Amino acid sequence: MAGDQLVTAVRQQLGLGRLLPLGSAADGAWIAERAAAGALRAAGDALPGLRVGTVRLSLEDAGAAPEPAVPAPPSALPPGPLRIGAEFAATPVRPVPATAELLRDALLACAADRLGLEVSAVDLRATDLLDEDGEGGGPRDGGGETGADGSGGAQETFGATADDAGPLEAAVLRVPGVVRLVPALGALSRPVREERGHVLVQLAAAADRRTLDVARAVRGAVEAASAGDRPTVAVLVAALEPPAAP
C-alpha cells in the first residue's frame, strides 16, 4: 500500500513539472510549471496569426540564485530570474520575426502582470507555418496544459469550505483568489502542513487574479491565523482555475 502511494505521489508531482519561484526570494512562493506554462500559452494564443506549442520554463542561473526567505517545497527551484522557451507556428500574414516579437512581448507581459514571475530571457523557435485561417501546424506536446478539469494535473481536493476546515485551512480559503486546497505533492501530503514552525500551503488560485498577489495574501493570512506563533510560510500554487462560484 505504501509503495502504491509513493508511486502515485511521484506521478502526480511529475505532472506538475518544475516548481518555479514566484516573485522574489522574499516572497516565499512557488508555482507549478504546468500551471504557469498554460497561462503563458493562452496569452500567446490570444494573438492573431499564431499558435503556441511547447512552453518550458527554467532557472536562468542556478549558481547565482539566492536562498529563499522560507523553506522551499520539496524539489522546488531556488528563487531567481527565469528563462522561457517556447515554440510556435505562424501564418504568412506578417514576417516571422515580427510575429516572434509580438509573442515575446505577450509572454513577458503575462509573466509579470498576470503571474508575477521574474523573467530575464525568452527563447522562441518557429516550428511550422499555418495557412491564413490559422489551420495547420503539428500537434502540441501537451506540456504545461491543464487537465480536463482545469486543474493543471492536481486533481485531489481538501477542505472544500471554510466551515469544515481547520483554522489555518479556513484562513487560506477565505483569501480572495483561492479556489481550493490541493495536496499537489502527493497522496501523503496535506494541503496545509505545519511542521516545526513552518507551514506549507498548496492551493489552486483563481485565473482572473495576479497569482503572486494571491500567494502573498495567503502567507499573510496564515501568519495572522497562527495565534502569535509567527511560523515561516511557503505557498505552492499547483493550478490556475476559474474562480469559485459565489
What local confidence, expressed as pLDDT, does residue 159 receive?
Answer: 44
**Mean pLDDT over the full length of the chain:** 84
Among left, alpha and beta (phi > 0; psi -120 to 50; other), residue 13 is alpha
Task: State whether CATH 3.30.70 applies to domain 149-241.
Answer: yes
What local confidence, expressed as pLDDT, does residue 34 receive?
Answer: 96
Instruction: Please report, rounded to a whole number, the percentage of residues in the chain having pLDDT higher than 90.
Output: 63
Q: Indicate the range of 31-35, 42-46, 82-86, 147-151 predicted with least confidence.
A: 147-151
For the chain, strand residue ranges (E) read 19-22, 29-32, 50-59, 82-90, 119-129, 178-181, 192-195, 198-206, 232-241
Q: Is residue 119 within 8 Å of residue 36, measured between CB atoms?
A: no
With the CA atoms of 222, 228, 234 and 239 taken in that order, what torsion angle do they form, in degrees rounded to the nearest 10?
A: -10
Would you call 83 helix, strand, or coil by DSSP?
strand
Whether residue 2 is predicted with pLDDT greater than 90 in this model: the reply is no
Give the pTM: 0.84
What local confidence, expressed as pLDDT, does residue 6 receive?
Answer: 43
C-alpha to C-alpha distances, 126 to 33, 51, 96, 208, nearest whole angstrom: 22, 10, 8, 29
Question: Which DSSP state fits 162?
Answer: G
> Average pLDDT for residues 179-204, to the nearest whole number?
87
CA atoms of 170 and 166, how far apart (whole Å)? 6
Whether residue 228 is predicted with pLDDT greater than 80 in this model: the reply is no
- Give the pairing of strands 198-206 and 232-241: parallel
Start-end of CATH 3.30.70.1350 domains in the chain: 33-129
* Top-confidence residue, 210 or 139: 210
Which candidate, 140, 108, 141, 143, places its Cα nearest to that of 123? Answer: 108
* φ, ψ at 85 (rounded to 5°): -120, 130
* Top-confidence residue, 105 or 185: 105
Domain 33-129: CATH superfamily is: Cation efflux protein, cytoplasmic domain (3.30.70.1350)
The 10s digit of each residue's pLDDT in 110-141 is 999 999 999 999 999 999 999 866 555 544 55
Instruction: Please report, rounded to a whole number, the percentage of residues in the chain having pLDDT higher than 70.
Output: 78
What local confidence, expressed as pLDDT, does residue 133 receive?
Answer: 64
